[in-house]
Structure 1
Amino acid sequence: MRILFTIAALFFLANTNLVYSQCREFAKNDCKPLLENYIHDGNYNGIVLNVDEDVELHKAFFKGQKYRLVVCKEDFLPSIHFKLLNSDFEVLYDNKDSGYNNKYDFELEESQTIIISMKFMTENKVYDKSMNGCVVVLFGLEMK
């Protein structure tokens, strides 16, 4: 019984590392080029997300710095609706207003923590609730 449990645990860890590795490669190869002339901040924010899940990412941004936010997903997944919110949950940007664009350039008037809220756009189509795939959020800095 102990051997069976050990084998199952090793299988789970191997699959988890494989999925994480595949998502990381996707971020490097497919998403990072979308930063274009912005310098990647070095942080990888990727997750294997199910179609029926919502996710939030909290990140500090600094006054006077120009940023590019890229939200990237595997091609077979539905579009992603994302919003930038301040700490009072006021919407600073909603990609719905720009045709669900996957990148956004911005500069803040004051340093603050921003919440990036994301969910898949599934209203108009029926998707298998168990479908999942890699979603990556990258941040770039404009160098002056």
Structure 2
Amino acid sequence: MRILFTIFVLFFLANTNLVYSQCKEFAKKDCKPLLENYIHDGNYNGIVLNVDEDVELHKAFFKGQKYRVVVCREDFLPPIHFKILNSDYEVLFDNKDDGYSNKYDFELKDSQTLIISMKFVTENKEYDKSMNGCVVVLFGLEMY
């Protein structure tokens, strides 16, 4: 029984690492080019997201710096609806108002932690609730 449990744990860890590696490769190959002239901050924020999940990412941003946020997904997945909110949950940007664009450029007047809230757009189509795939959020800085 103990051997079976050990094999299960090793199998789970190997699959988790494989999924993370696949998501990271997707981020490098398909998402990073969307930063264009912005310098990537070096972090790959990738997750395997289920169709019926909502996620949030909290990140510090600094006054006077121009940023680009890129949110991308594997092609077979529904579009991503993402919002950028301040710590009081006031919406600063909603990509729904921009045709579900996958990037947003901005500069803040004050340093603050922002929240990137994401979920799939599923209103117009039926999707298998067990469907999932890689969703990546990248941050770029504009260098002068």
What TM-score do you get using the length of structure 2 for normalisation?
Answer: 0.99
Q: Secondary structure at the match of 1:138?
A: strand
1:69 aligns with 2:69: yes
Partner of 1:48: 48
Partner of 2:4: 4
Distance 2:16 2:84 in 1: 29
Please report how far the alpha carbon of residue 132 of structure 1 lies from its aligned counterpart in structure 2 after TM superposition: 0.2
Root-mean-square deviation (Å): 0.5
The count of corresponding residues between Structure 1 and Structure 2 is 144
Gaps in structure 2 of 5+ consecutive residues:
none
Please report how far the alpha carbon of residue 2 of structure 1 lies from its aligned counterpart in structure 2 after TM superposition: 1.2
Please report how far the alpha carbon of residue 69 of structure 1 lies from its aligned counterpart in structure 2 after TM superposition: 0.3
What TM-score do you get using the length of structure 1 for normalisation?
Answer: 0.99
Gaps in structure 1 of 5+ consecutive residues:
none
Partner of 1:127: 127
Distance 1:40 1:72 in 2: 15
Detail structure 1 runs of 4+ shifted over 6 Å in the superposition.
Answer: none
Distance 1:2 1:110 in 2: 55
Distance 1:17 1:44 in 2: 14
Q: Secondary structure at the match of 2:119?
A: strand
Distance 1:94 1:74 in 2: 20
Give the alignment of 1:1-144 within 5 angstroms.
Answer: 1-144=1-144
State the identity as a percent: 88
Distance 2:8 2:115 in 1: 37
Could you tell me which amino acid in structure 2 is paired with residue 23 of structure 1?
Answer: C
Q: Secondary structure at the match of 1:92?
A: strand
Q: Secondary structure at the match of 2:10?
A: helix
Superposed CA deviations along residues 37-92 of structure 1, whole A, max 9, x for unmatched, are 00000111100000000000000000100000000100000000000101111110
Could you tell me which amino acid in structure 1 is paired with residue 116 of structure 2?
Answer: I
Superposed CA deviations along residues 87-133 of structure 1, whole A, max 9, x for unmatched, are 11111000011100000000011111100000000011000000000
Q: Secondary structure at the match of 1:100?
A: coil
